């Protein structure tokens, strides 16, 4: 076969492949289109599933909002009615007229502020020591902190109560603030984040004569804003929503926090459910606001804290 015949055969073969739609470019294009179709279908399915899960998660909150403006009869007789024809806004005013809810909100607010600031400072310094400093028994102490994560809060309730009585802090807000300053999970989270920060930054600062405190304050903390935001948000939710510990430690009505005070709406024979739902809505507002303000740092901190173990 001559070169002219070979060239002719190749040209005729390419033409035939193009006619049949089986050429290399056409096949690649078909594969890309098929992959793109599958990717689009996967995205649609994923977003649909996430949307359904979001709706399911929002149902209790929607029911709570709706129930807060209903009567004690319609709250159960017409549970599917999201917007009642005659909203009972008096459920909210009843809280302010019949209960010292303003005092309870103030108590919860200043306890949360002090506890959150204290937890961020204490856990950050402890996590820095576990992540960067070397001292005898460091790892064993850290393992002890991790073991504390496995102990339920109910187990430590009675020993904590005895300790608070011995310190003469019973029926005072110190009993609600000081135990909340430390948190084993926050120390673990910040330690993991500090380990992901390059050591070269600290070594350069140490060469320039910076102390450990200066390195911690000027380098570690500014680079850890997202992780600190996570600790602050979790601490806020933990202290603001605390119920069992304040219920055991506080006796006087004027010293109650909001979750404990709302239990006055429960009696031995009946419960004012609409007013209770209204109180829960009021208690939910600060949590939502804080989370929305710190959402960006919260997600970033949760993601970055697990990069290095």
pLDDT values of the chain reduced to their tens digit, one per residue, 309 residues:
444 444 444 444 444 444 444 545 555 555 555 555 568 888 888 889 989 998 898 888 888 998 888 888 888 887 788 888 888 888 898 888 888 999 999 999 999 999 999 999 999 999 999 988 888 888 888 888 888 888 888 888 999 999 999 999 999 999 999 999 989 899 998 998 898 888 888 888 888 888 888 888 888 888 888 889 889 999 999 999 999 999 999 999 999 999 999 888 877 567 888 888 999 999 999 988 988 888 777 676 666 654 444
Q: Which residue has the tokens 């290095």?
A: 308
Q: What global pTM score does this model have?
A: 0.77
Q: DSSP assignment, residue 266?
A: B
Residues in CB range of 157: below 8 A, 6 or more apart: 244, 245, 248
pLDDT of residue 83: 81
- Cα 100 to Cα 7, 91, 122, 279, 287, distances in angstroms: 96, 15, 33, 12, 21
Q: Is 186 exposed, middle or buried (0-12, 13-18, 19+ CB in 10 A)?
A: buried
Contact between 124 and 192 (Cβ < 8 Å) = no
pLDDT of residue 33: 54
- Cα 246 to Cα 136, 195, 237, 252, distances in angstroms: 37, 35, 15, 11
pLDDT of residue 10: 40
pLDDT of residue 30: 53
Q: Bridge-partner residues for 271, per DSSP? A: 266
- Cα 256 to Cα 104, 174, 185, 250, 282, distances in angstroms: 6, 13, 27, 7, 16
Alpha helices in 216-308 (DSSP H): 221-223, 225-240, 244-249, 258-261, 273-293, 295-304
pLDDT of residue 15: 46
Torsion of CA 246, 249, 253, 258, to 10 degrees: -10
Tens-digit pLDDT profile for residues 223-240: 888 889 889 999 999 999
Tokens of 96: 């302010």
Residues in CB range of 264: below 8 A, 6 or more apart: 99
Q: Which long-range contacts (CB under 8 A, 24 or more apart) does 147-153 make?
A: 148/184, 149/184, 149/185, 149/188, 153/244, 153/245
């Amino acid at each position: 076969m001559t070169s002219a015949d070979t060239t002719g055969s190749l040209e005729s073969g390419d033409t035939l492949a193009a006619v049949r739609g089986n050429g290399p470019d056409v096949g690649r294009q078909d594969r890309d289109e098929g992959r793109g179709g599958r990717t689009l279908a996967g995205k649609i399915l994923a977003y649909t599933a996430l949307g359904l899960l979001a709706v399911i998660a929002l149902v209790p909150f929607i029911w709570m909002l709706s129930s807060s403006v209903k009567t004690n009869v319609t709250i159960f007789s017409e549970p599917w009615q999201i917007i009642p024809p005659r909203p009972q806004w008096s459920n909210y005013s009843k809280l302010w007229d019949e209960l010292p809810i303003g005092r309870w909100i103030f108590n919860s607010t200043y306890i949360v502020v002090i506890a959150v600031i204290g937890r961020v400072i204490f856990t950050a310094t402890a996590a820095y020591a576990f992540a960067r400093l070397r001292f005898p028994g460091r790892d064993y102490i850290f393992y002890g902190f991790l073991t504390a994560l496995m102990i339920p809060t109910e187990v430590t309730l009675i020993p904590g109560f005895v300790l608070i009585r011995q310190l003469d802090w019973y029926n005072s807000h110190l009993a609600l603030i000081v135990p909340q300053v430390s948190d084993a999970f926050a120390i673990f989270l910040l330690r993991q984040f500090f380990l992901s920060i390059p050591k070269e930054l600290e070594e350069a600062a140490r060469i320039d004569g910076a102390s450990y405190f200066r390195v911690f304050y000027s380098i570690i903390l500014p680079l850890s804003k997202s992780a600190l935001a996570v600790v602050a948000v979790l601490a806020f939710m933990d202290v603001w929503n605390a119920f069992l510990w304040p219920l055991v430690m506080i006796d006087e009505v004027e010293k109650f926090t909001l979750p404990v005070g709302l239990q006055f709406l429960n009696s031995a024979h009946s419960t004012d459910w609409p007013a209770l739902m209204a109180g829960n809505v009021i208690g939910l507002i600060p949590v939502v606001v804080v989370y929305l303000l710190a959402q960006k740092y919260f997600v970033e901190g949760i993601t970055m804290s697990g990069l290095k173990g």
